[in-house]
Structure 1
Amino acid sequence: MSQKRHKHKSGTAASSADRHALYEIAVQSVETEIDFVDETFTNIRARQAGFLREDFCGTANSSCEWTRRRPSNHALGLDLSQEVLDWGIANNIKKLNKKQQQRIQLLKQNVLHYQGKPADIIIAMNFSYQLLKTRDELRGYFSRAHDGLTEDGILFIDAYGGHDSWREIKEKTKHKGFTYYWDQKKFDPITANMICHIHFKFKDGSKMKKAFTYDWRMWTLPELQEILDEAGFSKVTVYWEGTDEDSGEWDGIYSTAEHGEDEPAWIVYLTAEK
């Protein structure tokens, strides 16, 4: 993730906006995400998880949501950017009460090297693992995650695809006070490498261009399943989102699936059981 500083004309909405706060609004839905993670783990293991590790945690929004859920929940967030971790501490962790703050920890650590207390759940969301561009690198991360789980632990990741995901396109979504742009700027079909940007535009016309930049490899679902299997996981499951019968729109309900539909764009979850 790019950590560039951005200069904007003073007095504009862009000059006073916080890119991390905008990201959490436009991109994340941690309540829904943690609902899925919590309920799925319980359904698979017939027990509630207690310790969650969030890899590539960024602002640790998901870790905070996990910590709020139950007094028995603990969370650990790992990320390489001290700037982002500091933002998460100041803007997310400090909003927790004192007891909750005692049950969450953020560390500036490389997820490829971290060794610590085994977690019931490890999550790597928002496609963050796609910065690992070779099978060896990705298998190395998945193997490390496998080793970092309890004996019945589960790794959760998300993935996206569909024929629009391979195109150089820009999509926009309007939010209160700003418009979010997802810009798939460059895609190489030979290497599957892609460059993506997030931009924000405000009601006064000011813009925050390249608020975030991603240099990724687009991993396919067959590749992810194969590499997770190679990393030692005993079972890998894909969860496909259903559609509303009336509107035909995605309904936010994810169910196990062995086959999917040829949609322009989709997002799925994968679980990898130790």
Structure 2
Amino acid sequence: MDIVEAFSSPTLKDLQDNGGLVQIWKIMAADGLNKLSEQERRDASKLIGLLIGDPSGFTAIPSLIVKANNGDPLALVQVLTFFARFKAGNFSDSLPNNVNRADDAFLDSTTASGDSVYHDAMSTAIGDDLATKRNFYNAIDTGNGHNVIVHGGLDYDEIGGIPFVNGRETNPAQIAEAVRANPNYTQGSQVCFASCWSGTSGTAQQLADELKAPVFAPSRPVAWDSVTKNWVFDTDVFGIGDVPRPDIKPIWQMFYPSGK
């Protein structure tokens, strides 16, 4: 099976079962994810977000995959070049041109540090990178509260976790401010904190204290899966043996404001 066949799989499960992910990993990380440098791992997370946010890959390179599937040799070369650029460290954060119009429609404000804040009926997102936008534009109500989408990591200080936006540190106070500014969010209501590692780093507890509301948060990296219409863990896609920190099990936890 080649890369194009893998990306044209109709479901994420098919992508796993038919060996497509194995082929992708041969290009992304021939020696395994744990062998990647920190920068390579950050770059890999972009593509991981792309894959499980839109398993078909149509949003990232919408027409090329279709053309390649129909036997266009030039399109096939372009698709393979897309992955070769990733391997060389030149992966692009760009989205299709029509996303710019959507950005204008949903861009509501900026944080104190100047990062974009996006609002819609069920979500608040902070950041302009591909993975954040993809999750924001695709996520729907899962029954776990208002979606709050922002990059997170395992970094923390004496206060708690340190989330990142556009490569810069932010904090739960800024995130809470962005959520409260969303007219669709009901003050004090539960949120679904779709921020990687937030249930492990302490960020989820901080956000619960800031919002004075329950926060449902993941222990590991997550992204929106457009097939199952829900948030999925990195381990759902790649297996526990091929991800950083396999000792941290994939669970969602509820965090309540301190003292409640």
Calculate the TM-score normalised by the size of structure 2. Answer: 0.32
More strand by share: 1
More helix by share: 2
